[in-house]
């Protein structure tokens, strides 16, 4: 597989579906079953926690590029049940940022100008409920003004340990 802009691409012209998922590679073998597509028909985009932070973030940009450049007709958001990616301690990450030499003044400035929603720790932690994340992301994609209304968008939660998965309505 090749990777372009965070999207793992297969060398074929049959790509018709985009999967946006977390970082756990254990889920990859389940995608053909979940999507009812052959592996060569899938583009895989990974993101820490399958989180879209706003309608014009890099994940959405990469999604748009795939939709229009690769003729994507379906998008699958596949989150992992009980993923460590959804249990991030924002305060711990901020502490590590400070340990890396980033000043309190820089953090305060970022919070003041509302780059991270006025609270860097909360922004870093993100939402913790994978079902809520997938549901909101499906709605965001379906209602995005720059994506075709004919695009099918589906959400799923997968248990990496058992291989079981469920659709998110």
Q: What pLDDT, in 10s, does the model give residues 16-50?
A: 899 999 888 889 999 999 999 999 999 999 888 77
Q: Are residues 80 and 117 in the same domain?
A: no
Q: Are residues 150 and 79 in the same domain?
A: yes
Beta pairing, strands 74-80 & 152-158? parallel
Q: Is 48 helix (H, G, I), strand (E, B) or coil?
A: helix
Q: Could you tell me the CATH number of the domain that includes residue 11?
A: 3.40.1050.10
pLDDT of residue 16: 87
Tokens encoding 7: 């999207």
> 112 lies in which domain range?
89-125
Q: Are residues 36 and 108 in the same domain?
A: no
Q: Is 80 helix (H, G, I), strand (E, B) or coil?
A: strand
Q: Is 2 helix (H, G, I), strand (E, B) or coil?
A: strand
Per-residue pLDDT for 1 more than 50?
Answer: no
Q: Are residues 104 and 148 in the same domain?
A: no
% residues pLDDT > 90 (the chain)? 49
Q: Could you tell me which of 73, 90, 102, 164 has the C-alpha nearest to residue 128?
A: 90
φ and ψ at residue 155, rounded to 5 degrees: -125, 140
pLDDT of residue 150: 94
């Amino acid at each position: 597989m090749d990777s372009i802009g965070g999207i793992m691409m297969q060398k074929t012209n049959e790509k018709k579906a985009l999967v946006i998922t977390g970082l756990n590679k254990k889920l990859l073998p389940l995608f053909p079953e979940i999507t009812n597509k052959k592996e060569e028909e899938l583009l895989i985009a990974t993101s820490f926690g399958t989180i879209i932070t706003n309608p014009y973030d890099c994940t959405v940009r990469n999604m748009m590029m795939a939709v229009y450049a690769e003729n994507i007709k379906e998008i699958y958001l596949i989150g992992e049940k009980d993923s460590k990616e959804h249990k991030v301690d924002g305060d711990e990450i901020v502490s590590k940022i400070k340990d890396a030499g980033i000043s309190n003044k820089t953090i305060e400035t970022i919070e003041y100008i509302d780059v991270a929603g006025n609270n860097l720790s909360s922004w870093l932690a993100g939402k913790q409920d994978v079902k809520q994340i997938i549901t909101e992301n499906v709605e965001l994609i379906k209602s995005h003004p720059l994506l075709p209304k004919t695009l099918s968008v589906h959400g799923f939660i997968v248990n990496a340990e058992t291989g079981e998965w469920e659709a998110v309505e």
